Structure 1
Amino acid sequence: MATDVLYSGRAAAVAALAVAGITLTSIPAEAHPGAAGPGSRRPAVQGAGVRPVTSPGAPELPDGLSARSWMLSDAGTGDVLAAKAPHRRLPPASTLKTLFAVTVLPKFTAGTVRQVSATDLEGVGDGSSLVGVEQGGRYTVADLWRGVFLRSGNDAVHVLASMNGGWDATAKEMQQTARELGARDTSVKSPDGYDTPGQVSSAYDLTVFGRAGLANADFAGYCATARAGFPTKEGVNQIENTNRLLSGSHGMTRYPGIIGVKNGYTTNAGNTLVAAARRDGRTLLVTVMNPQSGENNAVYKEAGALLDWGFDSAAKARPIDTLRTVGTVPGDDSRIRTLTTDTVKVKAAPPASGGASAAALWGGGFGAVALALAGTFIRRRHRRRRGTPEEAA
């Protein structure tokens, strides 16, 4: 199986998370008017223009930013570096799959096998992006997630949602997850991001979902994969990630330091993108929604320009806001202290090899311990919510 990023079980997933440099429970919580505590900064309100950067020595923002909404933040610290209308509610297209993954991915082990039924594929929308899931086919959960992240396959989303209790139940659970993460601009109607009346999100919320996703080793591994094999009746079909900053295709070069996350397109949403990149020990997240310039690859070019600006502005631009972090995993009542960058530091690792171990990839073993804790918290959360154990492999 040809892959751009080589993964080997749990060690490889840990390697992806180590490269991302995101701590495991440092995820955004309530950060909207009425929810923030005394003295905390709040993001720009809906409809606001570009937030100015006034720090001495900070470079000017890039020219030609035509997106209706965008936001750039530091994934490690939660600092918001610049934004335009970050709470403007817009159709998210397939970037909503980040929330789907944050909600559903922890529930099923990668090796769990699903034989797809006709019911699993009911309701896939006309014109949907597909990875090629076939009725009667047998797929591992890992196969299905690669179909979601690389090909944005709505057929794979439908199968995973069916495993999760059904389409409507999954939409409701995604809505609850969004609320627990403090994402108040999102209304989930179709878990795959397909254009549906009333379905909206925002640059702020999608950043929240991307950041929470990167704190999960499996999410980090899938979203960083540029090419992989997908099973078919004839054998294995090679699939390529539709995120052009990652795959370096269709007139785009691979962005230096890119580590994911998810792109999307629908008629109503236009082009949307959540992208993360890491340089010099710093991970930035950018969300771009619906560029208006009409230029080819506009969503990728504008995202790349904002990432360039963010890396160039290191130690120069003063944050305009900060994503707050939760002290416990959402839905868990164990009152465990947040593992922030001050308590557990995830060290960047060299590319994983087939024989690499998780302990070797995280300095001092802290990362492995944090990963085990996070996995326990997530499983406990979902067992409590659904009342059933995780499906066995």
Structure 2
Amino acid sequence: MATAVCAVALMLTPGAAVAIPAAATPVTDGCPHRLVPPPAVDTSEVVAPGSTTPSALPVPAQTVGGEKLAACGVITDPAAGPVPDRLTSAAWLVADMDTGAVIAAKDPHGRYRPASTIKTLLALTVLDNGLPLDRAVVPTAEDWGQEGDACGMGPGGRYTLRDMLTGLLVVSGNDCAHVLARELGGVPATLAKMNATAAQLHALDTRATTPSGLDAAGMSTSPYDLALIFRAAMGNPTFREIIAKPTYHFPGYPPRRDVPGDPDHPGYDMQTSDQLLLNGYPGMLGGKTGYTDDALKTFVGAARQGNRTVLIVQMYGLSTSDDNYWTQAQSLLEYGFHAPSAIRVGDLVSGRPTSQSTTESRPTDPASGPATVPGSPRAASTSDHGSTMSKRILIGLVAALIVVILLAVATRFLGRRRS
């Protein structure tokens, strides 16, 4: 079974780096992942007997963010200069987070597994649903028994939803993800809410099938969608505050009564898995890492320097023996900061669509993901609606004026007949 790990060791520790030659970087020009992610390398996505593997999400008729982003190779403007070399990610994206301009990308709508970067969508869903972060929560054995990275909760510990949300984003705790899912109504209800949020954001390549990012059949997102989700989440002050924390004191718990000789488990200062933030990269606002055997390394994050905020996404990548994934992340940020402000190969659509443009946006199947909705930016859908309303108002005014004129003529005619 693939495990979701925070990827600190895999991304930073030379001894743990997976050695692959730079030439092994996947070529995506032929759009091999237009519909589904790369093949799984283990059994994590094998469905239970009697269950059906989810079908691929439909590809929107209009490319979200602009038609240039329909390409699957490297998309760039020569005026921005050459893109960084030695990038091992199959797909990546660089954007101006403030303006929404996509500066450059590779396979931006290619579908890949998010691993723990999907926790940004879970966090946004928690915040959107207004859960009180000071609420006390009682963890269960199912929570602390979750596979993969954990914050380290246990019986008898005193925790709040803020602890859970912070542990989710800082150290990628799958135990915290399970607690938050329960607070949102259970895993199926949480997946339905996460996928509805994705649909509202026009993240149409995204389907969450686990709250934590552990691989499961049907899971997918894209660099473009992760950029949309992270940008929306950064608009929430609480998310922005938590994702910027390099450390956080997580509560401990007393010795377990069911384990003879179990010692005390004191609280500890957890450290973020975002090594750019932890190591003081200038202007780093925060980011979210991810790794599974099937997803490989993933990352979404942003930094601000001067008057520009650059957002980057990396998917399906690895460190090589002489090329660290954090070095690659830094090179993408630098590329974004040095690109002329006029560079724009596409757009991150902003805002959430109106009800008129999302009549199919809420799926009935909790894990079905977003239904097919228009792939154009919100501005286009709302302006079309506004244009239609304006025409109706104008027609109504003209009709009213004609009625007034006819009444005036009739009154004058009748007056003459009576005189």
For the criterion TM > 0.5, the same-fold answer is: yes
Larger Rg: 2
Q: Is 2:273 aligned against 1:242?
A: yes
| Displacement of 1:176 | 1.0
| Displacement of 1:34 | 3.5
1:82: which partner in 2? 104
Residues of 2 paired with 1:193 and 1:299: CA distance?
Answer: 20
1:92: which partner in 2? 114
Q: 1:136 to 1:297 in 2, by over 3 A?
A: farther
2:151–2:176 contact (8 Å) kept in structure 1:
yes
Pick the aligned partner of 1:260 from 275, 286, 293.
286
User: 1:323-334 residue pairs with structure 2 within 5 A?
Assistant: 323-326=348-351
Please list the CA deviations of residues 170-223 of structure 1 after superposition, one character each: whole Å capped at 9, or x if unmatched. Answer: 011111111111011112110100111221111111111110000000000110
Residues of 2 paired with 1:197 and 1:297: CA distance?
Answer: 31
1:116: which partner in 2? 139
Please list the CA deviations of residues 289-343 of structure 1 after superposition, one character each: whole Å capped at 9, or x if unmatched. Answer: 122552467332111101101111133x62101122237688999xxxxxx9xxx
| Displacement of 1:136 | 3.8
Pick the aligned partner of 2:227 from 191, 207, 222.
207
Q: Is 2:97 aligned against 1:72?
A: no
Give SS of 1:238's match. Answer: strand
Q: 1:295 to 1:180 in 2, by over 3 A?
A: farther
Give SS of 1:76's match. Answer: coil
2:340: which partner in 1? 314
Instruction: Please provide the CA RMSD for this pair.
Output: 2.6
2:68–2:75 contact (8 Å) kept in structure 1:
no
1:390: which partner in 2? none
**Identical aligned residues as a percent:** 35
* Larger relative contact order (CA 8 Å, sep ≥ 6): 1
2:68–2:346 contact (8 Å) kept in structure 1:
yes
Q: 1:93 to 1:326 in 2, by over 3 A?
A: same
2:228–2:349 contact (8 Å) kept in structure 1:
no
1:302: which partner in 2? 328
Residues of 1 paired with 2:352 and 2:162: CA distance?
Answer: 30
Report the residue type matching 1:280 in the other structure. Answer: G
Residues of 1 paired with 2:217 and 2:173: CA distance?
Answer: 21
TM-score (norm 2): 0.64
Residues of 2 paired with 1:267 and 1:164: CA distance?
Answer: 28
2:101–2:343 contact (8 Å) kept in structure 1:
no
Q: 1:297 to 1:213 in 2, by over 3 A?
A: farther
Residues of 2 paired with 1:199 and 1:134: CA distance?
Answer: 29
1:34: which partner in 2? 61
Please list the CA deviations of residues 43-68 of structure 1 after superposition, one character each: whole Å capped at 9, or x if unmatched. Answer: 5226x11013222xx33211112210
Give SS of 2:313's match. Answer: strand
2:159: which partner in 1? 139
Report the residue type matching 1:278 in the other structure. Answer: R
2:202–2:349 contact (8 Å) kept in structure 1:
no
1:227: which partner in 2? 247
Ranges in structure 2 where 5+ consecutive residues have no aligned partner: 1-58, 254-264, 359-378, 380-419
Residues of 1 paired with 2:336 and 2:144: CA distance?
Answer: 42
Residues of 2 paired with 1:60 and 1:80: CA distance?
Answer: 15
Report the residue type matching 2:199 in the other structure. Answer: R
Report the residue type matching 2:347 in the other structure. Answer: T
User: 1:127-166 residue pairs with structure 2 within 5 A?
Assistant: 128-166=148-186
Q: 1:295 to 1:209 in 2, by over 3 A?
A: farther
Give SS of 2:163's match. Answer: helix
Q: Show structure 1 runs of 4+ deviating over 4 A.
A: 119-122, 327-333
Residues of 2 paired with 1:318 and 1:51: CA distance?
Answer: 12
2:144–2:150 contact (8 Å) kept in structure 1:
no
Report the residue type matching 1:283 in the other structure. Answer: T
1:11: which partner in 2? none
Residues of 1 paired with 2:321 and 2:198: CA distance?
Answer: 32
Give SS of 2:215's match. Answer: coil
Q: 1:121 to 1:169 in 2, by over 3 A?
A: farther
Residues of 2 paired with 1:163 and 1:146: CA distance?
Answer: 15
Give SS of 1:283's match. Answer: strand
The total of aligned residue pairs comes to: 290
1:379: which partner in 2? none
1:213–1:219 contact (8 Å) kept in structure 2:
yes
2:73: which partner in 1? 49
1:284: which partner in 2? 310
Give SS of 1:170's match. Answer: helix
TM-score (norm 1): 0.69
Please list the CA deviations of residues 342-391 of structure 1 after superposition, one character each: whole Å capped at 9, or x if unmatched. Answer: xxxxxxxxxxxxxxxxxxxxxxxxxxxxxxxxxxxxxxxxxxxxxxxxxx
Residues of 2 paired with 1:134 and 1:327: CA distance?
Answer: 38
Report the residue type matching 1:115 in the other structure. Answer: V
1:370: which partner in 2? none
